[in-house]
Amino acid sequence: MNGKIGKRRSIKGMIGTERYLSTRFVMLVDRCLRYALPGRCAFCLGAAMEGAPWCRQCLDELPWNRTACSRCAEPFSGPAGEPIKSCGACLREPPSFVRARVPLCYSDPVAAQVQRFKFSASPRAGAILLSLLQGALTTGGDVLPEALVAVPLHEQRARERGFDQADWLGSRLAQRLGMRYIKARRLRSTPTQRGLSREQRRANLKSAFVIDTSLPASVAILDDVMTTGATLDALGQACLEAGADHVEAWAVARTPMH
């Protein structure tokens, strides 16, 4: 019996190692490509702007999330203009964070970069997403929170994938912005949140995260993509329980809920 379990474990371990090695390989190839294409726009391969990985036209044409709820970043259709203070959902059930800064919508070519980053561990795609987010967060002169907490993958999931994308983004972003980077722990894997009400999602994710250190008053939480906002809401709740009193949610791109 014990021997069987041991065998099963070792096969599982081998699959994990293979996945890890193939992830490392993709990262290596990607790194080579990055240096093979200096001065080229990441989206159209035309000439890039000086000091940037994109050209002016591609940057302008990205799916910017300009008309959105300032609390949850839910995009609204219609002409770009002033951000809407709170959408109906936020008025009915306010999330744990007081504002959301999500500069882009989750559609191509941003979605393609996110997929490359998330599933192939592409550092070139990661660097592009990181620069887009950093640029958006630092324009406008807002005072930045003191610390950054990224949504953690469940340990087993991180081991299987060999790569934790929010941690990759978070540690680099915190360093670039001069913020403290604080790790949270995910206590359990959580199923998909689609199709549930905000209250149901909140119940589903209750106590999913814990932060083992006491937080400064003002904190930003980060995920690569914000979908329903439920995961960030749960992490924000853990931040409030760990001593923060102002939490804002950051992500690169927003998937519309409706």
Task: Answer yes or no whether residue 68 interacts with Zn ion by CB under 5 A.
Answer: no
Closest contact distance (angstroms) between CB of 30 and Zn ion is: 19
The residue among 57, 118, 51 whose CA lies nearest residue 253 is 118
Closest contact distance (angstroms) between CB of 71 and Zn ion is 4
- H helices then E strands: how many in the chain? 9, 8
CB-wise, 53 or 170, nearer to Zn ion? 53
Please list every residue from 82 through 101 that binds Zn ion, using CB under 5 A.
87, 90
Least CB distance to Zn ion at residue 113 (A): 13
From 45-53, 136-144, 157-165, 231-239, give the range in contact with Zn ion by CB under 5 A: 45-53
Residue that the structure tokens 């904190």 belong to: 219
CA distance 145 to 200: 29
The candidate with the shortest Cα–Cα distance to 214, out of 251, 174, 182, 246, is 182
The minimum distance between CB 59 and Zn ion, in angstroms, equals 8
Radius of gyration of the chain (CA): 19
Nearer to Zn ion, 74 or 224 (CB): 74
| Shortest spacing between CB 219 and Zn ion, in angstroms | 19
Quote the DSSP letter at residue 47. Answer: B
Task: Report if residue 71 touches Zn ion, rule: CB under 5 A.
Answer: yes
- Does residue 105 sit in helix, strand or coil? strand
| Dihedral angle of Cα 85, 88, 94, 99, to the nearest 10 degrees | -30
The first and second tokens of residue 56, run together, are 């002016």
Residue 43 within binding range of Zn ion, rule CB under 5 A: yes
Residue 58 touches Zn ion, criterion: CB under 5 A: yes
Residue numbers of the site for Zn ion (CB under 5 A)? 41, 43-44, 46, 55, 58, 69, 71-72, 74, 87, 90
